[in-house]
């Protein structure tokens, strides 16, 4: 089947979060299952054209937004040697020549994000109109691409559309004024919705043939907890028949301690000596005491409240008192970054904070830490806890969304991590202490590591679920 896969981030070209990892890995897996995957994404100036062999195709055109004409050029990466898997980029310097993907360095979103991603979507519609692509199915991701289903239906384009939600917190709101940027017939359709707030997400829910999110538990929570689906709670419940949850997988080569290209010391569940060497390297990198007996806890994530940083910040002092070492990687909110920085200045031998995204360090943290904390308030899927499990780095997580679907609480007999049920600092601290106490019992710890490392988190099952959904949707058309 011909599939057009549209995403605002695709790893390894551009990455702000897990969406990129999924958009890098899922099409690869589907192409291996003989689907014709054509991935399309913006060509941000941060994308390394040389490294990835990205060249102009010579295709260019212009689209109208309101009364203004904008040019776009199509580029293609020659990195994939698989004819089933092609990667195209939309280039326009005005919109994509920035130092970030969505935000300024201080974490504030670009003021013209509505324009930028509307432009991206209009270019895709233009390419479809001109017959450059002939997909039977279009797979859209998150609000940056959520107007495509509406536009596809309005132009009566003969393809099915699947809309995947990676995070309901970002819905792509727009105002009355923004409507003038849309083609008139589309704006008219949007006006028919008497929402107090218009959002791209609402349009995606309404017009896609099917909608899914990235874990079964998050899907359930969105339907049952109005606090998670906000003003679209009723709308979401009204489309239950076409809504589902499919758990993300993890790339089997890139996130595998035996083959990870970023690691100097490889290891597997059969022999964890490489993990010890990674720990020593990480301790040295952070300027900590290089000692295998000291528990080392990793954390990687966008610095936003919903990832549980308030719980971490209020428990850190108590955990530092127990001699634990902490390494943090992540950027975002200035307040959270300042909080972590203050700890790292006060306790340089125990807390290390890295604000610049660094892919190699992310891999070293996953491999070298003993534990990984991810106390997210809610979590659509979460990938770092999955990488942690695969690396024998025991996760401490809140029982929510994809975290609940992937980590099994250690009950003294079986388990792959430490899970707490109520989102509170005290419950998080208890789970941390439970993990630290267990860590000192080497045999038990190894048992948990074995349980974690031998679970299957490959894309196989999930890719199959997507493939079935694709076929089901196109058959119905
Ligand atoms: C978003 C979600 C995260 C999910 C990722 C990929 O970043 O916040 O939970 O794992 O998308 O689907």
Residue 60: band (very low, low, confident or very high) from pLDDT cuts 50, 70, 90: very high
Say if residue 373 is exposed, middle or buried (CB neighbours under 10 Å; 0-12, 13-18, 19+): buried
Q: What is the pLDDT of residue 197?
A: 85
pLDDT in tens, 374-391: 999 999 999 999 999 999
What's the whole-number mean pLDDT along residues 49-59?
Answer: 96
Atom of ligand 1 nearest to the CA of 164: 12
pLDDT of 332: 87
Q: Which atom of ligand 1 is least distant from the CA of 19?
A: 6
Ligand 1 centroid distance, CA of 169 (Å): 11
pLDDT of residue 243: 98
**What is the C-alpha separation between 243 and 205, in angstroms, rounded?**
9
Q: What is the dihedral of CA 113, 238, 463, 158, to 10 degrees?
A: -70
- Give the chain's domains with CATH numbers: 2-249+460-476 (3.40.50.2000), 273-457 (3.40.50.2000)
2 — pLDDT class (breaks 50, 70, 90): very high
User: Atom 5 (ligand 1): residue with closest C-alpha?
Assistant: 18
| Ligand 1 nearest atom to the CA of residue 402, by list position | 9
Rounded to two decimals, what is the model's pTM? 0.96
Q: What share of the chain has pLDDT > 90, as a percent?
A: 93
Find the 52 Cα to ligand 1 centroid distance in Å: 24
- Is the pLDDT score of 158 beyond 90? yes
Closest CA to 394 of 348, 432, 422: 432
Give the pLDDT mean for 335-347. 97
Nearest ligand 1 atom to alpha carbon 218: 9
How crowded is residue 436: how many other Cβ atoms within 10 Å of its Cβ?
A: 19
Average pLDDT over residues 130-158: 97
What is the reported pLDDT for 26?
A: 97
Q: What is the pLDDT of residues 358-378, one digit of tens each?
A: 999 999 999 999 999 999 999
- Please tell me if the CB atom of residue 214 comes closer than 6 angstroms to any atom of ligand 1: yes
Expressed in angstroms and rounded, the spacing between residue 22 Cα and the centre of ligand 1 is 8
Among 383, 401, 457, residue to substitute to test ligand 1 (most atoms within 8 Å of Cβ): 383
- Residues 409-460: tens digit of each pLDDT: 999 999 999 999 999 999 999 999 999 999 999 999 999 999 999 999 999 9
Q: Taking all residues of the chain, what is their mean pLDDT, rounded to a whole number?
A: 96
- Decide if pLDDT at 195 tops 70: no
Q: Mean pLDDT, to the nearest integer, of 391-411?
A: 98
Q: What is the pLDDT of residue 183?
A: 94
Could you read off the pLDDT of 320-338 as tens digits, one per residue?
Answer: 999 999 999 998 889 999 9
Asked whether 22 lines ligand 1 (CB < 6 A), one says yes
Asked whether 382 lines ligand 1 (CB < 6 A), one says yes
The whole-number pLDDT of residue 442 equals: 97
Q: How far is the CA of 331 from the centre of ligand 1 (A)?
A: 16
| Residue 24 beta carbon below 6 angstroms from any ligand 1 atom | no
Supply the pLDDT for residue 193. 82
């Amino acid at each position: 089947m011909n599939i057009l896969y549209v995403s605002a981030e695709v790893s390894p070209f551009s990455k702000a979060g897990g969406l990129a990892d999924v958009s890098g890995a899922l099409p690869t897996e589907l192409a291996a299952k003989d689907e014709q995957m054509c991935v399309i994404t913006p060509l941000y100036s941060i994308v390394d054209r040389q490294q990835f062999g990205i060249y102009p195709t010579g295709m260019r055109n212009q689209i109208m937004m309101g009364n203004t004409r904008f040019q776009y050029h199509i580029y293609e990466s020659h990195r994939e040697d698989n004819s089933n898997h092609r990667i195209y980029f939309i280039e326009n310097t005005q919109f994509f020549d920035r130092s970030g993907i969505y935000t300024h360095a201080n974490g504030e979103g670009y003021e013209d994000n509505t324009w930028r991603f509307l432009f991206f979507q209009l270019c895709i519609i233009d390419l479809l109109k001109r017959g450059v692509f002939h997909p039977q199915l279009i797979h859209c991701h998150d609000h940056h691409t959520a107007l495509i289903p509406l536009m596809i239906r309005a132009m009566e384009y003969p393809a099915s559309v699947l809309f995947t939600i990676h995070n309901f917190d970002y819905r792509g709101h727009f105002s009355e004024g923004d409507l003038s940027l849309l083609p008139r017939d589309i704006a008219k359709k949007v006006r028919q919705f008497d929402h107090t707030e218009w959002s791209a997400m609402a349009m995606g829910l309404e017009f896609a043939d099917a909608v899914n999110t990235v874990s079964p538990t998050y899907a359930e929570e969105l339907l049952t907890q109005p606090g998670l689906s906000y003003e679209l709670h009723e709308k979401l419940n009204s489309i239950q028949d076409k809504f589902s949850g499919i758990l993300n997988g993890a790339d089997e080569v890139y996130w595998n301690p035996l083959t990870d290209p970023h690691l100097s010391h490889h290891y597997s569940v059969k022999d964890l000596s490489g993990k010890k060497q990674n720990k020593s390297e990480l301790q040295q990198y952070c300027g900590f005491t290089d000692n295998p007996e000291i528990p080392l806890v990793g954390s990687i994530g966008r610095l936003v409240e919903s990832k549980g940083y308030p719980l971490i910040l209020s428990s850190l002092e108590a955990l530092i008192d127990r001699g634990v070492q902490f390494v943090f990687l992540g950027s975002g909110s200035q307040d959270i970054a300042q909080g972590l920085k203050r700890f790292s200045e006060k306790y340089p031998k125990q807390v290390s904070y890295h604000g610049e995204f660094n892919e190699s360090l992310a891999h070293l943290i996953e491999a070298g830490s003993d534990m990984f904390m991810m106390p997210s308030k809610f979590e659509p899927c979460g990938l770092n806890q999955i990488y942690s499990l695969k690396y024998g780095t025991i996760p401490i997580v809140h029982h929510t969304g994809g975290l609940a679907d992937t980590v099994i609480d250690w009950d003294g007999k079986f388990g792959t991590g430490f899970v707490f049920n109520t989102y509170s600092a005290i419950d998080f601290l208890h789970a941390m202490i439970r993990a630290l106490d267990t860590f000192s019992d080497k045999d038990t710890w190894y048992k948990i590591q074995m349980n974690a490392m031998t679970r299957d988190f490959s894309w196989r099952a999930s890719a199959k679920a997507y493939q079935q959904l694709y076929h089901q949707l196109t058959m119905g058309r």
